[in-house]
Amino acid sequence: MSLTPRLPLALRQLTDAPVKTAAAAAGICFSTVLVFFQLGLLNAIYQSQSRPYSLLDGEIVLVSDRFSRLSQSPEIALSDVMRAQGVEGVARVSPLSIQLGILLILPQGFTTNAQIYSIDPSNSALSIEKTKLNISSLTPYERASMDDMSRPSYVSNVQKKLNNYSDYRTNLGNKRLFINSISSIGSTFAADLSLVMSQDNLIHYFPGRSYSKINLGIVKLKPGYSVQKVLATLNSKLYPVGYNIKAMSIPEISDKEMSFWQKNTSLTFIFGIGVIVGFVVSGIILYQILYSDVISHLPEYATLLALGYPNIYVIKVVFVQAFLLTAISFPFSFAITLGLYGLMASATNLVIYMTLERCISVLFLSLLTSSFSCFLATNQLRKVDPSSLY
């Protein structure tokens, strides 16, 4: 025969003191938001480094064998890159040059780093659809397109001019530059903003560059051809081991970029500390709440022991309270985090978003932290003496 469930003492304790429960849940909510935010930001920062690769109009990238990251990509010979045109399955090969420059921001008057993507307007390495590039705006002399995912204040300066049918006049290095259109690229660690210009204009602003030397070759395949097969052909026949060029798929080069920033910067460490601090804060808050709760309810717990309830039952009541508090606060943490992500995205143009994996892992770790705090808080309960009631 089934047994009637016992009174839910943990739930009743919480609902009997709604203000205290709400305060406790708010404390746990705050620390969970902290964890979510740190993880989201870290992921967004890394993702933003590999975003440019998703904008390339091709499936394979040809780079120097010494390639480590996009902003410092060594030069390779255009002629070597164009050899890939003859490989079966290759539709076309497009050149892409990357250059860092100093851009003057007007009307504020200060300078900032700009990452410049240089393409052949007749053979664009960037997807026009994804980047919303106005190709014809790149052709005129001293013209460039600005990334609308750069710092909003920079973009708004440009947008104001463009809305009035004027070009935005500024300097790149010590030469004048006109920004006459807006595109969508995405910011990186290397620079505060991105520009797109033609190869002709690149060489005008950076005379040290030449047409024969580029940074990346973007290979677009014909429909129906396997990326892996063409990659294998390129790396075995055209660019074997030892050659100064290698072919990589888009996912491969994205991972390589992410890996560089993960291993060569202290971001993971810094944000990792932030995540740990978040969980520690959550654990401490919960411990304090549970400990003071146990102390204030000691006579009741002693009564339960005197009535014949086992010690483990009483400890279970506290554990259930801890899990309930964590469960109550989690949806609020989730909602607040979504709001913060949205705010962050609009302020910085970082692509920051919630993932199911992150949600599940933070919930799991929150429950784990709750368990540990509970274990410490119930230490007092293991020593409670029911004879103290007399």
Partner 1 sequence: MLMNAASPVIVNNLTFSYAYDQPDSNVLNSISLSVSSGELIILTGASGSGKTTLLTLIGGLKTGAKGCLEVLGKNIISASPNELLLLRRQVGFIFQSHNLLPYLTALENIRVGLEIHDSWRQMGLLAMENKCTELLELLKLGSRTLFKPKDLSVGQKQRVSIARAIANKPKLILADEPTASLDKDSAQIAITLLRDLTKVNDCAVIVVTHDNKILDYADRIINLENGSIT
Stretch of 8-16, 92-100, 205-213, 244-252 lying at the interface with partner 1 (CB under 8 A): 8-16
Stretch of 53-61, 72-80, 81-89, 308-316 lying at the interface with partner 1 (CB under 8 A): 308-316
For partner 1, the binding residue among 15, 123, 236, 264 (CB under 8 A) is 15
Residues 369-388 touching partner 1, rule: CB under 8 A, are 385-387
DSSP β-ladder status, 216-221 and 60-64:
antiparallel
Q: Quick one: 62 or 315, whose CB is closer to partner 1? A: 315
Q: What angle do CA 351, 53, 230 make, to 5 degrees?
A: 145
For partner 1, the binding residue among 1, 19, 241, 356 (CB under 8 A) is 1
The secondary structure of residue 58, as a DSSP letter, is S
CA 197, chain centre distance (Å): 27
- Beta-carbon count within 10 A of 125 CB: 25
Q: Quick one: 5 or 107, whose CB is closer to partner 1? A: 5
389 part of the interface to partner 1, by CB under 8 A: yes
Q: Quick one: 76 or 305, whose CB is closer to partner 1? A: 305
299 part of the interface to partner 1, by CB under 8 A: yes
300 part of the interface to partner 1, by CB under 8 A: yes
The Cα–Cα gap between 219 and 59 comes to 6
Residues 338-367 touching partner 1, rule: CB under 8 A, are none
For partner 1, the binding residue among 35, 119, 149, 302 (CB under 8 A) is 302
294 part of the interface to partner 1, by CB under 8 A: no
| CA-to-CA dists, residue 341 to 77, 187, 281, 287, angstroms | 42, 17, 21, 29
Indicate the burial class of 267 (C-beta count within 10 angstroms; 0-12, 13-18, 19 or more): middle
Q: Quick one: 17 or 270, whose CB is closer to partner 1? A: 17
Query: How many residues bind to partner 1 according to rule CB under 8 A?
Result: 28
Tell me the sheet residues that pair with 94: 218
304 part of the interface to partner 1, by CB under 8 A: yes
Q: Quick one: 298 or 351, whose CB is closer to partner 1? A: 298
Which two three-digit tokens encode residue 224? 């129906």
Considering the complex, what minimum distance in angstroms separates the CB of residue 387 from partner 1? Answer: 4
For partner 1, the binding residue among 19, 241, 307, 356 (CB under 8 A) is 307
Q: Quick one: 15 or 139, whose CB is closer to partner 1? A: 15
Which two three-digit tokens encode residue 241? 């081991």
Considering the complex, what minimum distance in angstroms separates the CB of residue 15 from partner 1? Answer: 8
208 part of the interface to partner 1, by CB under 8 A: no
For partner 1, the binding residue among 74, 173, 240, 310 (CB under 8 A) is 310
The Cα–Cα gap between 326 and 116 comes to 47
Considering the complex, what minimum distance in angstroms separates the CB of residue 16 from partner 1? Answer: 3
The Cα–Cα gap between 64 and 105 comes to 33
The Cα–Cα gap between 328 and 24 comes to 10
Is the alpha carbon torsion for 45, 34, 343, 356 positive or negative? positive
Angle between helices 18-54 and 9-16 (to 10 degrees): 100
Which two three-digit tokens encode residue 125? 């390495």
Contact indicator for 21, 325 with CB cutoff of 8 Å: yes
**Contact set with partner 1 (CB under 8 A):** 1-4, 6-7, 9, 12-13, 15-17, 299-300, 302-310, 385-387, 389-390
